[in-house]
Structure 1
Amino acid sequence: MFNISLSLVGQVAKTAAFGAIATKVIDTFILSKVNNKIDQKRWLRQSKLEAFTKLSQEILSIDLNNPKEESLRSIKEYSAKTILLLEDRVLINTIEDYLTYLVNLNKTCHDSSKNMLSVVDKKGINLVMALNKNLKKV
């Protein structure tokens, strides 16, 4: 009888050890991948928030009647950072379209019409709204 119970205890101990090792393997391979994906999404959202905020601030604070070269450079810089974080081709094209209008406005600054100023201003606001919408998807 003592021999059977000792054998049974040994079998239970082996099973428990195997279970502990299997749990650790699952934890290491599966849960670490899940945690990495969660961390990656969190990093992407934070990076987008920072880039979108800076770009939006520059777009909404630029004086379209008298755009300064440093403001244009900042918008281009933040646009580049934003584009690197995006997968949405439509939004990337919207940024490029805004930049094209902004550069054209700057080239014709002295004789720019109110219509051109209005178009660039509207495109800027639409871009900020599109950035906001994209950020909510993440």
Structure 2
Amino acid sequence: MLNISFALAGQIARNALVGAIATKVVDTFITNKVNNKNDQKKWLRTTKLEAFSKLSQEILSIDLNELKPESIRSIKEYSAKAILLLDDRRLMNQIEDYLTSLINLDKSSEDRSKDLKKILDKKGIDLVMNLNKNLKKL
């Protein structure tokens, strides 16, 4: 009878050990996966914040009356970074539309430029607001 008790106790101890190890392994894999996903989201949000902030700053501070090639180049550069981070096709198209309008303004005559400046200014503000909305989705 004592032999059976020791055998039963040994079996229970082995099962408990195997169960504890299996639980720890599963817990580790699940925890790692969740942590990696959280780290990826955090990185994406930080990177988007940086890229969107720079693009917004350039858009809102550009002098449409005296366009400089450096300003246009900066907006193109920050737009490219922002587009790489986006998965919103509508927002990508909005950035592209803003860039096209900016380039058209740079090439336009003085007669047309006044109307284009108003349109471009409105497009810029709308774009910045939509970048803000996209950031808040994360």
* TM-score band w.r.t. shorter chain: over 0.9
- For 2:2, give the aligned amino acid: F
Question: In the TM superposition, what whole-angstrom CA distance separates every residue of 1:53-83 from its partner, at most 9, and x where no partner exists?
Answer: 0000000000000011111111000000000
TM-score normalised according to structure 1 size: 0.93
Partner in structure 2 of residue 11 of structure 1: 11
Q: How does 1:47-66 map to 2 (within 5 A)?
A: 47-66=47-66
Distance 2:21 2:104 in 1: 65
Distance in structure 1 (CA, Å) of the matches to 2:118 and 2:60: 13
Gaps of 5+ in 1: none
Q: Could you tell which deviates more after superposition, 103-112 or 51-60?
A: 103-112
| Equivalent residue runs for 1:1-138 within 5 Å | 1-108=1-108, 110-138=110-138
Deviations 1:73-100 (A, max 9, x none): 1100000000000000000000000000
The percent of aligned pairs where both chains have the same amino acid is: 70
Letter in 1 for 2:69: E
Q: Which runs of 5+ in 2 are unaligned?
A: none
Instruction: Give the TM-score normalised by structure 2.
Output: 0.93
Contact 2:60 2:125 in 1 (8 A): yes
Aligned CA RMSD, in angstroms, stands at: 1.4
Which secondary structure state, in structure 2, belongs to the residue aligned with residue 70 of structure 1?
A: helix
The superposition leaves residues 94-138 of structure 1 with CA deviations (integer Å, 9 ceiling, x where unpaired) of 000000000111112655432111001000000000000111111
Equivalent AA in structure 1 for residue 123 of structure 2: K
Shift of 1:5: 2.6
**Alignment: residue pair count:** 138
